[in-house]
Amino acid sequence: MDPENDLQEFYDHWKETIWLIKIEYSMGVQNIQSYITGFALNSNGLVMTCTHSFPKTSYTMSARRLEDNFFFECEMIYEKRKWDITLVHIKNVNDCKFGRLTNDGSLSVGQILFHIGNPHNFVGSFLIGKVSFQCVDDVDIPVDSRICRDYESTALSTTPRYRVIGDIWNEMAFCNFPSKEKKIEKNLHPCVPII
């Protein structure tokens, strides 16, 4: 067994689930193009991505598979800005390779995670991380309007059953940044679970 070939095969298989989304908009007299990645949730072009890369102005978007240069029209069908989640529908696609979100207790502390994405415009980059804290299958889904900027984390005084964004981004963490920095993180909901 060759671990390097195994990782290459793993990457080649799962990169087919990743889409590059091009967002085009105007800011003053300047036309801007930005790119983000997302992953397919079904064969009909339902793609999940992050919300923070979308402008708060009008825009158009299109998407392509990583291994293809043809862009398809797409549309946003759901956005939850406080959770940093957006669902996009790629039009006229019915043959997407896709992954599934797990809810079966299969993630454990220290388990290796792989990420195929677009960090710092390295499109299709393959990154490795680890599950840093236990995952539970009965998390509380936040429904109130709290934001990280005003959140006081208690994770150091009382160990929580699972981690939330507010354990990382909270009022104490933002003391180290000028007031105009980290706007996205400040406005996320602090009780969204993380791994």
The predicted-structure confidence for 116-138, as pLDDT tens digits, reads as follows 777 766 777 778 888 888 778 78
Q: Which domains does the chain have, with CATH numbers?
A: 3-90 (2.40.10.10), 135-195 (no CATH)
Give pLDDT, residue 179: 73
- Residues 45, 52, 188, CA angle at the centre, nearest 5°? 115
Give pLDDT, residue 156: 85
Q: Characterize 66-79 residue by residue with b for buried, 16 or more Cβ atoms within 10 angstroms of its Cβ, and e for exposed.
A: eeeeeebebebeee
The residue with greater pLDDT, 65 or 107, is: 65
Q: Residue 88 — φ and ψ, nearest 5°?
A: -120, 140
Among 65, 28, 59, 22, smallest CA distance to 45 is for 65
The predicted-structure confidence for 70-117, as pLDDT tens digits, reads as follows 999 999 999 988 888 999 999 999 999 998 777 667 778 888 888 777
Q: Mean pLDDT of all residues in the chain?
A: 86
| 3 state SS of 171 | helix
- Hey, how many other C-beta atoms are within 10 angstroms of the C-beta on 53? 17
CB contact at 8 A, 64 and 93: no
CB contact at 8 A, 165 and 190: yes
Instruction: Tell whether the model's pLDDT for residue 5 goes beyond 60.
Output: yes
- Hey, how many other C-beta atoms are within 10 angstroms of the C-beta on 126? 15
Instruction: Tell whether the model's pLDDT for residue 47 goes beyond 90.
Output: yes
pTM for this prediction: 0.77
